[in-house]
Amino acid sequence: MTKTDTTRTRNIGIIAHIDAGKTTTTERILFFCGRIHRVGEVHEGNAQMDWMAQERERGITIVAAATSASWNDHQINIIDTPGHVDFTAEVERSLRVLDGGVVVFDAVNGVEPQSETVWRQADRYSVPRVAFINKMDRRGADFAASVESVRERLGANPVPIQIPIGAEDDFRGIVDLVEMQAVTWPDNELSPPERGEIPEEILALATEAREMMVESLAEIDDDIAEKFLEGEEIPKEELKASLRRLTVSVQGVPVLAGTALRNKGIEPLLDAITDFLPSPLDMPPIEGVNPDTGDEEKRHPAEDEPFSAIAFKIVADPHAGKLAYFRVYSGSIEPGATVLNTTANKRERLTRVLRMHADEREEVKDSISFGDILAAVGVRTANTGDTLSDPEHPLVLESIAFPEPVVTIAIEPKSRADQDKIIDALRRLSEEDPTFRISGNKETGQTLIAGMGELHLEVIVDRLLREYRVEANIGRPQVSYRERPRKESSGRGRFVRQSGGRGQFGDVSVDLEPLPIGAGVEVERRIVGGSIPIQFIPAAERGVKRGLESGPHGLEVTDVKVTVVDGSFHEVDSSEIAFEIAGSMAVEDALKRSRTDVMEPMMTVQVVVPEEYVGDVLAGLAAKRGNIHGTDLRVGSHIVDAEVPLATMFGYANELRSATQGRGTFSMEFSHYAVSRSVDAADGILEPVS
């Protein structure tokens, strides 16, 4: 693919709730751009962007897949992201590096739970968006209600630039409110749309909708406001320019309609992507810290700036080795150049650089410059969130934050021969997935793996067995509990060993205080007078962190601040290992004095059921220690919103199916940790491997 002028580059993500039609929309975009020559279907298991065997078997997107396509002399770099909450990390790291997003909504359901999650993620990174109300051909499709749900549930400013012509089986096309033309498609054909006069029966509605669009633009655009108030006709070029400013500044979201499965609405969506979403040149400078000076620095999107990029995704490729996907924010380099992994302080040579299309690849021969999203082959040190920079102008960019895993299973090899294989495979998988964690149970000797949900771990295990050919016994999924201190306390740890010759001596005192739920762990130092020599302080802090790995209940301690405040040393016997052990002992002492609460993960649960089953669903959730937040009516079904402990939700899919004769559905995502109300919460957390 020939390199495109940066002003004509768009780096976008396709994001949505599961089953909103995200991958189908991406497949149509690629087809109409000429990137693929056969439309793949998710339900047939041949969607090109869902290339993993696990994706095609389950009909869902699991990993974010990158590709590039061309439309009207623009290069569109696309990342198709998962919709299932268990794989939200893929969305997080994609949004970190994208300039714009297409948010797909189901026209029947409007905003759904995962829609809210991805929208908040996009808000966190100030990603400009356009919205695509998909599935307008479904029974119960309601464009106006979907737009209103975006306004009410997301707190957004949706600005429809289209209205649908017909709905459900009668959906034929849209009215382009900028051009004031009807755009219609032959039913389920791949021929171009036809433009013409707006049907008389919806002309008044279209005129009103256009006026509302202009009003929305007038609120943030003085030029539009002036002409609007004076009753002047506003040229379409000025409307497009205003819509672009609205979108790029994240003050509003243009809304479009269509049905991707029936090939209706894709061309106008592509036009909206190129017309309204920003190029890399439109983005503000990236900010980071110079590791040599500690000063904050900026890098502008320009060729003459020092090179800076962030590695946002790692893939263990069985043929090419380690692949590091990266986004370039400033400067340019040639393939084969040496860059500095500033996070690890290691140099890397970008010997081979690839442009990806799902699992296919094209080697890059020309220069690599700001705005590019590419993959480097054979990088040794890069991990997710690491910064790559010009060695002469180092910079550390803000890394990517990921949620903590909430479900754990035990795993053990079936034979001694599989022991090394399983450790190597788990290490590779953890490099790929920052929400996948590996640990060990000291009491049982088992290896524990933790992830974001049952499906997440199911996919991990399937990959272990299928890709890495590891034979293993797998335990039942268990909740990942935490501990949190109840009150402030202090603790002291003294490690003294005298056995003739040189002994060991370390003495550490700490202050401990609980932090707000969700705050995580902070370790600080406040040592005066040289009570602990400077060379031993890092060892003491390492010991503190190790002490937090297992609290009085044997669980990881979180939401706590530990400050190293004092200690003492021996001129001869003190060592790093002694201070590390003393630091761990000090934390253990402080936690015993504070006492701890067992914390359990709470899930936001949304259940959709016919009216006759609402009572049974409410009773069932209450029995699971759930708090019901409310119910709502939507297109003949009732929506039940609740907050429920994860520990009680295992197997709920089967329970709901049985209670509603298969007519109920639910979605669930992690909300927060809370003090467990279950007396037995910490009992039997780790079950033996079966």
85-122 pLDDT, tens digit per residue, is 666 777 777 888 899 999 999 999 888 877 888 888 88
List the single range of 45-54, 143-152, 310-319 with lowest mean pLDDT: 45-54
Residue 615 predicted with pLDDT over 80: yes
Task: Label residue 536 by pLDDT band (50, 70, 90).
Answer: very high
Q: Is the pLDDT of residue 684 over 50?
A: no
Position 447 confidence tier, pLDDT thresholds 50, 70, 90: confident
- pLDDT exceeds cutoff 50 at 682: no
661 has pLDDT over 50: yes
Give the three-state DSSP class for 358: coil
Q: Which of the four pLDDT bands, split at 50, 70 and 90, describes residue 38?
A: low
Strand partners, 603: 644, 670
Query: What pLDDT is recorded for position 43?
Result: 43
Q: Considering only CA atoms, which of 430, 317, 323, 429 is closest in space to residue 380?
A: 323
Asked whether the beta carbons of 29 and 3 are under 8 A apart, the reply is no
- DSSP 8-state secondary structure symbol assigned to residue 62: -
How confident is the model at residue 1, as a pLDDT? Answer: 45
- The Cα 135–Cα 118 span in angstroms is 19
* DSSP run (H or E) holding 158: strand 158-160
What average pLDDT does this structure show over 474-483? 86
pLDDT above 50 (res 65): yes
What whole-number distance in Å separates Cα of residue 668 and Cα of residue 649?
Answer: 9
Contact status, residue 227 vs residue 217, Cβ threshold 8 Å: no
**Tokens representing 111?**
């905003």
Sorting pLDDT into bands at 50, 70 and 90, what band is 567?
A: very high
Choose among 26, 23, 58, 46: nearest CA to 463. Answer: 58
Average pLDDT, integer, range 465-477: 82
Residue 279 CB partners (closer than 8 Å, separation 6+): 6, 7, 8, 9, 10, 99, 371
Q: How far apart are CA 595 and CA 675, in angstroms?
A: 13
Q: Comparing 167-176, 488-497, 598-607, 633-642, which segment has the lowest mean pLDDT?
A: 633-642
Cβ atoms of 351 and 377 within 8 Å: the answer is: yes
pLDDT band at 237 (very low <50, low <70, confident <90, very high): very high
**Average pLDDT over the chain, rounded to whole?**
85
What's the average model confidence in pLDDT over 514-537? 89
Phi, psi of 43 (to 5 degrees): -70, -15
Task: Answer for the pair 388, 339: CB distance below 8 angstroms, yes or no.
Answer: yes
Residue 179 has pLDDT above 90, yes or no: yes
Pairing of strands 596-610, 665-675: antiparallel
What does the H/E/C string look like for 403-447? Answer: CCCCEEEEEEECCCHHHHHHHHHHHHHHHHCCCCEEEECCCCCCE
Q: pLDDT at position 64, please?
A: 59
Q: Which residue has the higher pLDDT, 690 or 252?
A: 252
**Is 550 a residue whose pLDDT tops 50?**
yes
DSSP three-state, residue 392: coil
The answer, yes or no, to whether residue 207 has pLDDT greater than 60, is: yes
pLDDT at 456 (0 to 100): 82
CA-CA-CA-CA torsion sign (197, 200, 206, 210): positive
Three-state secondary structure call for residue 285? coil
Q: How confident is the model at residue 563 (pLDDT cuts 50, 70, 90)?
A: very high
**What count of other Cβ atoms lies within 10 Å of the Cβ of residue 460?**
23
Written as six digits, the tokens of 281 are: 């040149």
pLDDT in the model for residue 445: 62
Average pLDDT of the residues in 38-45? 51
pLDDT at 690: 31
Query: Which tokens is 515 given?
Result: 């932090």
**Backbone conformation region of residue 452, classed left if phi is above 0, alpha if psi is from -120 to 50, else beta:** alpha
Per-residue model confidence (pLDDT) at position 189: 65
